Amino acid sequence: MTRSTEKSVERAIGKKRVQLKVLRDEIEDLSDYLDVLEARARDTGKVRVSHDDVKKRYRVKSHNRNGRRIAA
């Protein structure tokens, strides 16, 4: 192969790799979204727990607006 042909093939391969990465990222996002939808479907009709109640139950610390940690 000539040098110009090699460069064009390398460019094409590089573009395809970028396209694959974008597609993999999109698939991962869609998979996460599907997991959320399935969890919501399973929880339909069940009692909901607020975010603050979960933090209190598991003693998770949160941040206030000044950046200092406060107990939940």
pTM: 0.55
Comparing CA positions, the residue from 62, 42, 45, 40 lying closest to residue 53 is 62
Contact assessment for residue 49 and residue 58, using Cβ atoms and an 8 Å cutoff: no
pLDDT averaged over consecutive 10-residue blocks of the chain (72 residues)? 91 97 96 92 86 85 61 49
